[in-house]
Structure 1
Amino acid sequence: MEFDYVIVGGGSAGCVMAARLAENPRLKICLVEAGGSGRQLAIRMPLGVAGTVPAFPFFRFANWAYETEPQAGLNGRRGYQPRGRCLGGSSAINAMLYTRGHPSDYDGWAARGCTGWGWEDVLPWFRFSERNERGTDAYHGFSGVLQVGDQKQPRSMSKAFIAAAREAGYPLNDDFNGRVQEGVGLYQVTQFFDGKKRGERCSVAAAYLHPRLDWPNLHVITHAHATRILFENSRATGLEFRRNGTNRIVKARAEVILCAGVFGSPQLLKLSGIGPADELSRHGIPVLSNVPQVGENLQDHVDFVMNFRTSSTESVGYGFRGGWRLATEAVKWWRTGEGLCATPAAEAGGFLKSHPELDVPDLQLHFTVGIVDDHSRKFHPGYGYSAHVCVLRPHSRGSVMLGSADAADAPRIDPRFLSDERDALTLIRGAEILQTIMRASTMAPYDKGEIHGQDRMRGAELMDAIRSRADTIYHPVGTCRMGSDAVSVVDPMLRLRGAENVRIVDASVMPSLIGGNTNAPTVMIAEKIAGEMKYNL
């Protein structure tokens, strides 16, 4: 089989690239995805996040469920790294929160040599992708296909959390993607707000790809695990993948576009002979091009969680009453698109400064209407809620290395959380702020005690709790860094250095982590590159 473009990975970026390039009927597009269709009920139902993120057995189909290397900064624990494994990628299993980061994040990219990626350059592409329920203005669009809506029935405890933060002195913000990011409020979410799918998750596959699957020039291959990029000399000519136990090949006339994600893209490059020469040699992989920075520069938001018990039955809980209520709520959602099953679970939150003299927020809060202990993998009977705080712009840097020369083996993921002491100091300050908010009087009617006693800790005891319980909030980036310098992995058009006809389009190209959830920026990156490619064809 031969195509113009072969796209590796049907996640958020891959879905956008395939759909947008296929708008040109003269092009033949092939999208290769390791997982399935991304249409399952557990994905379409927003509350399915409670099963897909922890990757319970029935939900494992949609999640790679990686683990990290032991983390010295987290008392030697292995962290958990859930990543979407289906069309839609992590947008099919995330909490659907739509945030873009701070404008200064993108101006920082441009200042570091990423020409064309400043805030004024990227804002039009955010607006272009978006169909915002509130309509169009200077910051938002309505003509795009990614539906972004307000939460219809947030729990009263989420509103109480917002009131508690205001009681603690933090301002209300009804649009984290508007003129000002700082403040607390309800998140907007990628959820269908009109039509037959009202109340369903608007994954990037549901928005961009599923409606286009019958296009004659778009060929999608699922359950196909990419094993290596094929080259003639230094020119990419196609892709080898494994499906149903058999190795197969698709040819690419123009480009192979890697959208395999922060872990998958550097892994596939290395398996194909592109990466640090010494690492490739250790695994017996012939070196096509020595690109030392492939897999380096890994950054992620390290997150600390406090979990509280409550007597309020409006939260997600375990037990007979919770099970029966969840069943009735599922029926309600199926019929109306509303109710508890329409919630993303993480309903409220905010962006705060650890110290008032800072120019931009460096902390993000998430408030979740259920107990989230060890990514919800530890069960606690009854009802509860959780409050999170993460470090938005960490100084710690990690890497993604090969586990072996076999593509079926997971990569070795080492975020090196809290390896830079500045991150530890910021997180402990964030935890102190979160404690203050959670002890405000407006939370008192709901509070039946913090499960681990973390709401009363200070100093060294709090730092010990952080090192014992902190982990990712699922925003890894940076392992195929974009830049204008000679050692960057891709140039500002996201073309791979060291080989021809390979482009990387996913969160791995971000040179630095943005101050917010990373799905919307990943969609923006793909929209921008697809648009510029179509213009230059």
Structure 2
Amino acid sequence: METFDYVIVGAGSAGCVLAARLSEDPKLSICVLEAGPSDWHPYIHIPAGFIKTFYDKNVNWLYSQEPGPYTAGRRIVAPRGKTLGGSSSINGMVFNRGQALDYDTWAQLGNRNWGYADVLPYFKRLENRVGDSDSDYRGTDGPLTVTDINWKHPLCEAFIDGAVSIGIPRNPDYNASTQEGVSYSQRTIARGRRVSAAGAFLKPAMKRSNLTVRTGAHATSLILEGKRCVGVRYNKGGANGSAHEVRAGKEVILAGGTYNSPQLLQLSGIGPADVLMPLGIEVKHELPGVGIGLQDHYAPRSTARVKNMRTINEQVRGVSLLGEIAKWFFAGTGALAQTPTMVYCFWHSGESPDRSDLQLTFTPASYKEGEQGKLEDEPGMTVAGWQQRPESRGYVKLRSADPFAPPIIQTNYLAEEIDRRTVIAGMRLSRKLLRTDPLKPYYEREDWPGPDVNTDDEFLHAATTRAQTTFHPACTCIMGPASNRMNVVDDELRVHGLQGLRVVDASVMPRMISANLNAATLMIGEKAADLIRGKAAPEPIVLAR
């Protein structure tokens, strides 16, 4: 039986960072187990290829959520990356750290050294920011390239001008001193190609002899000896493949993500007894919080028909598509080299006057109802608006003791009244943004939710029937003191009550942040690498706010 110092389960964003940083020490041996294949698929590396990988089971877990109180009986698709790079290989490539208050809140919940001043050095360490930036906040020599949009569609310019016309200021860098305002999105794209965590961190590290990466290795359970985790069982080649074990001399690190990490813990007998026992799973270590606390951003996407302007809907069809392919191939520009959301706007719903609580995105395109990622035939533009810090919480639980069965995912969108009020405010602001004077020459009519929707009840009904996930699940292995029985890991990401086991991914977030999750997940990987190696943390960066 093989033994490594560290076994990392999952080659997603945090797992790639961990593998790269731990393997910098030639005295350590590291094994990474990834259930999916290598990231060879060309659609991974073409930014617009997300439209294809969105539904590709070869590189996507393609989970499905349970119907919730405000989803009108719908099972909302829940994509997660299943390849080297994880979700960073199939996501929208937006780089968004969130607000300083997000991380200060984590610290206030009892997590030492997780305040904004503590995590800012890790954000700076991981990035190579290209373009104008404030060196107090941004890094320029890290592995992850972060760029500005290099293709400014006229509708985007009009949208930004329209936001300014109603009092929302331009913001040159929402990842610096303040998030509020409107600007083009920053993205992990370089020279027209996606920059995934695998490309930035894992692939260079794989040249080291002390790092072993195994693809097609589906973890089925953890190996426990008393209260110590000593290894991982996995199948090579799927449910009908061969069974294997790998041992960890120092630690096993779960980096499978918000759905898969709690699933593997529960399969291993670590979790709520009332979930495990009915499935015939022996409770080896009761932790009632495993899988509990799930949060996600829930976004109604307001659309309008466009006149007097070509949108991406037409630009990537027929003969026009050939031109866009040529632009991408020869110059790394054009529609195929962009993020699906091109403009970001952070503003107030009125519920939180001291800080923005709404995140809105604009794209000069529109998507078919109920078919995310599939463009409409008619010219269209879209504003998606969501509450940045929802209060509603759900859960991830085992469906069965079969490690190849998908888990039960219940997000409980809009269960809390404050969430409903804030999302309605976001829909009203989305409508206002689409009807500004600078957009008037191109605005033909509102397509959804439609001009007949005007009252709060009507907006809420519309959101219930059509809003979708923004693919930001978090908070199912919550970080916090053991005094709260629902916390799963401590502030060094060690599983409470067990030795040799940590969780390092978005599941450890104690509360949702006001951002897309990939940047913060990479940061968690960076900080965890120092914690695991016992390295002194960099000096906190305290800046005036």
Does residue 249 (structure 1) correspond to residue 248 (structure 2)? The answer is no
For the 8 Å contact 2:34–2:217, the answer to whether it is kept is yes
Which ranges of structure 1 fall in alignment gaps of 5 or more residues?
193-197
User: Counterpart in 2 of 1:328?
Assistant: 323
Query: Distance in 2 between the 1:323 and 1:382 partners?
Result: 14
Q: Which piece of structure 1 moves more, 137-146 or 321-330?
A: 321-330
What are the residue-to-residue correspondences of 1:498-517 with 2, within 5 Å?
498-517=497-516
Report deviation, 1:383: 2.8
What are the residue-to-residue correspondences of 1:356-435 with 2, within 5 Å?
358-372=353-367, 373-376=369-372, 380-435=376-431
Does residue 344 (structure 1) correspond to residue 339 (structure 2)? The answer is yes
For the 8 Å contact 2:110–2:481, the answer to whether it is kept is yes
For the 8 Å contact 1:147–1:190, the answer to whether it is kept is yes
What is the DSSP-based 3-state SS (H/G/I as helix, E as strand, rest coil) of the residue aligned with 2:57?
helix
Query: Distance in 1 between the 2:71 and 2:476 partners?
Result: 22
User: Counterpart in 2 of 1:28?
Assistant: 29
Cα shift readout 1:443-479 (whole Å, capped 9, x = no counterpart): 2232233333435521122221111111211111100
Q: What is the one-letter code of the residue matched to 1:167?
A: S
Query: Distance in 2 between the 1:150 and 1:378 partners?
Result: 25
What is the DSSP-based 3-state SS (H/G/I as helix, E as strand, rest coil) of the residue aligned with 2:155?
helix
Does residue 309 (structure 1) correspond to residue 302 (structure 2)? The answer is no
Runs of 4+ in 1 over 6 A off after TM superposition: none
Does residue 201 (structure 1) correspond to residue 197 (structure 2)? The answer is no
Overall identity of the aligned pairs, in %? 41
User: Counterpart in 2 of 1:467?
Assistant: 464
Query: Distance in 1 between the 2:200 and 2:284 partners?
Result: 37
For the 8 Å contact 2:267–2:403, the answer to whether it is kept is yes
Closer/same/farther in 2, CA of residues 395 and 251 from structure 1, 3 Å limit:
same
Cα shift readout 1:280-307 (whole Å, capped 9, x = no counterpart): 1011111110000000011111111012
Closer/same/farther in 2, CA of residues 379 and 334 from structure 1, 3 Å limit:
closer
Query: Distance in 1 between the 2:294 and 2:176 partners?
Result: 28
For the 8 Å contact 2:360–2:384, the answer to whether it is kept is yes
Closer/same/farther in 2, CA of residues 456 and 438 from structure 1, 3 Å limit:
farther
Q: What is the one-letter code of the residue matched to 1:278?
A: D
For the 8 Å contact 1:3–1:253, the answer to whether it is kept is yes
What is the DSSP-based 3-state SS (H/G/I as helix, E as strand, rest coil) of the residue aligned with 1:62?
coil
TM-score if structure 2 supplies the norm length?
Answer: 0.93
Q: What is the one-letter code of the residue matched to 1:180?
A: T
Q: Which piece of structure 1 moves more, 62-71 or 261-270?
A: 62-71
Report deviation, 1:318: 5.8
User: Counterpart in 2 of 1:110?
Assistant: 107
Cα shift readout 1:167-204 (whole Å, capped 9, x = no counterpart): 22211112111111111111111112xxxxx2211111
For the 8 Å contact 1:170–1:183, the answer to whether it is kept is yes
Closer/same/farther in 2, CA of residues 356 and 397 from structure 1, 3 Å limit:
closer
Closer/same/farther in 2, CA of residues 247 and 311 from structure 1, 3 Å limit:
farther
Report deviation, 1:493: 0.2
Counterpart selection for 1:68 from 54, 65, 71: 65
What is the DSSP-based 3-state SS (H/G/I as helix, E as strand, rest coil) of the residue aligned with 1:297?
strand
For the 8 Å contact 1:154–1:343, the answer to whether it is kept is no
Query: Distance in 1 between the 2:443 and 2:51 partners?
Result: 22
Query: Distance in 1 between the 2:497 and 2:326 partners?
Result: 54
User: Counterpart in 2 of 1:195?
Assistant: none
Report deviation, 1:136: 5.9
Report deviation, 1:272: 0.4
What is the DSSP-based 3-state SS (H/G/I as helix, E as strand, rest coil) of the residue aligned with 1:382?
coil
For the 8 Å contact 1:454–1:462, the answer to whether it is kept is no
User: Counterpart in 2 of 1:219?
Assistant: 212
For the 8 Å contact 2:47–2:336, the answer to whether it is kept is yes
Query: Distance in 2 between the 1:525 and 1:473 partners?
Result: 20
What is the DSSP-based 3-state SS (H/G/I as helix, E as strand, rest coil) of the residue aligned with 2:17?
helix
Query: Distance in 2 between the 1:31 and 1:133 partners?
Result: 30
Does residue 528 (structure 1) correspond to residue 527 (structure 2)? The answer is yes
Query: Distance in 2 between the 1:230 and 1:471 partners?
Result: 37
User: Counterpart in 2 of 1:232?
Assistant: 225
Does residue 293 (structure 1) correspond to residue 289 (structure 2)? The answer is yes
Query: Distance in 2 between the 1:490 and 1:60 partners?
Result: 31
Cα shift readout 1:5-34 (whole Å, capped 9, x = no counterpart): 000001000000011101111111100111
Report deviation, 1:314: 4.3
Report deviation, 1:356: 7.8
Counterpart selection for 2:264 from 264, 268, 287: 268
For the 8 Å contact 1:99–1:177, the answer to whether it is kept is yes
For the 8 Å contact 1:153–1:338, the answer to whether it is kept is yes
Query: Distance in 2 between the 1:248 and 1:356 partners?
Result: 53
Closer/same/farther in 2, CA of residues 16 and 375 from structure 1, 3 Å limit:
farther
Cα shift readout 1:241-290 (whole Å, capped 9, x = no counterpart): 11121111111111100000000000000000100012110111111100
User: Counterpart in 2 of 1:281?
Assistant: 277
Query: Distance in 1 between the 2:116 and 2:461 partners?
Result: 38
Query: Distance in 2 between the 1:473 and 1:106 partners?
Result: 21
Q: What is the one-letter code of the residue matched to 2:436?
A: A
User: Counterpart in 2 of 1:161?
Assistant: 159
Query: Distance in 1 between the 2:207 and 2:311 partners?
Result: 40
Cα shift readout 1:476-525 (whole Å, capped 9, x = no counterpart): 11000000233210000000013210000000000000111111000001
Q: What is the one-letter code of the residue matched to 1:489?
A: V
Query: Distance in 2 between the 1:248 and 1:273 partners?
Result: 19
What is the DSSP-based 3-state SS (H/G/I as helix, E as strand, rest coil) of the residue aligned with 1:355?
coil
Q: What is the one-letter code of the residue matched to 1:32?
A: L
Does residue 96 (structure 1) correspond to residue 93 (structure 2)? The answer is yes
What are the residue-to-residue correspondences of 1:170-181 with 2, within 5 Å?
170-181=168-179
Cα shift readout 1:303-360 (whole Å, capped 9, x = no counterpart): 11012232466432269x7232223212321222112111112100211111186211
For the 8 Å contact 2:449–2:462, the answer to whether it is kept is no
Query: Distance in 2 between the 1:173 and 1:165 partners?
Result: 11
Report deviation, 1:379: 5.6
Query: Distance in 1 between the 2:390 and 2:340 partners?
Result: 25
Query: Distance in 2 between the 1:406 and 1:207 partners?
Result: 34
Query: Distance in 2 between the 1:73 and 1:297 partners?
Result: 18
Q: What is the one-letter code of the residue matched to 2:401?
A: A
What is the DSSP-based 3-state SS (H/G/I as helix, E as strand, rest coil) of the residue aligned with 2:444?
coil
Report deviation, 1:233: 1.5
What is the DSSP-based 3-state SS (H/G/I as helix, E as strand, rest coil) of the residue aligned with 1:161?
helix
Q: Which piece of structure 1 moves more, 276-285 or 380-389?
A: 380-389
For the 8 Å contact 2:365–2:375, the answer to whether it is kept is no
Closer/same/farther in 2, CA of residues 506 and 307 from structure 1, 3 Å limit:
same
What is the DSSP-based 3-state SS (H/G/I as helix, E as strand, rest coil) of the residue aligned with 1:262?
coil
CA RMSD between the two structures: 1.7
Query: Distance in 2 between the 1:521 and 1:40 partners?
Result: 26
What is the DSSP-based 3-state SS (H/G/I as helix, E as strand, rest coil) of the residue aligned with 2:213?
strand
What are the residue-to-residue correspondences of 1:70-85 with 2, within 5 Å?
70-85=67-82
Q: What is the one-letter code of the residue matched to 2:152?
A: P
What is the DSSP-based 3-state SS (H/G/I as helix, E as strand, rest coil) of the residue aligned with 2:418?
helix
Q: Which piece of structure 1 moves more, 74-83 or 280-289?
A: 74-83
For the 8 Å contact 1:136–1:142, the answer to whether it is kept is no
Report deviation, 1:377: 5.6
